[in-house]
Amino acid sequence: MGASLRGNAFEKSFKDAFRTEFGDNKAFSARSMVKVSFKFAELVRKASIREEFSSFNSEDVISVLDAHSSVIRYVSVIMPRLDRSCFNSVDFNYRCDELLAELYQNDIFYPEKIQMKWRMIVRNFVEINGIRYVRNDLNRNEQPKHTIVSIDEIFCAPCSPTNNSKFKQLPAIIVIIFMCLFIYTGRVLLRTTEG
């Protein structure tokens, strides 16, 4: 039962990221076969979660599940072997090497930010189950020969322009709440130590 629950959570995370990036998730699953970008193929090759992946290139296919496992192995095993100081045990994150920083589009890999990880993986798909996907910003001067998907214009729900006004004051409200809690806690402690 535990494996089934993990599988369902994996499937949901993948489909959420795919919906965010491409707008649809009905035809794809964790078992879908994908072709990946040249740089992501390099990550798969370096992670080598299976012997046959040691010579992986961008023309080969990989399951979504194996692509995900490759990222996890690369971050948690391969990078620390090359640079033991890449893991920050205080903040529980990893300083990205050059390859991961380019793919992740950030200098720090945050294991708890599942959507960021999935967006990185999905962003590097070039073909899914035989259907070719090309990012719009990669082909400015060419006529489209494939399905064109622009992922740079997609916003997550709380960040979209229509919902943005609701969230602008949220940080200030959170700070005020924590200040009130801090002051209240201080007064309670002061009363208990005086009495």
147 burial (CB, 10 Å; 0-12 / 13-18 / 19+) is exposed
60 versus 163: the higher-pLDDT residue is 60
- Count the neighbouring beta carbons within 10 Å of the beta carbon of residue 16: 16
112 versus 41: the higher-pLDDT residue is 41
Q: What is the CA radius of gyration of the chain?
A: 21
CA distance 28 to 48: 24
Residue in the structure block whose two tokens are 């893991």: 87
Look up residue 111 and give its two tokens.
């294991």
Mean pLDDT of the chain: 74
pLDDT tens for 75-130 read 999 999 999 899 998 888 999 999 999 999 999 999 989 888 988 998 999 998 88
2-154 in CATH: which number? Answer: 1.10.245.10
CB 47 within 8 A of CB 36: no
Q: The whole model's pTM is what?
A: 0.60
Question: In the chain, what are the domain boundaries?
Answer: 2-154, 155-195
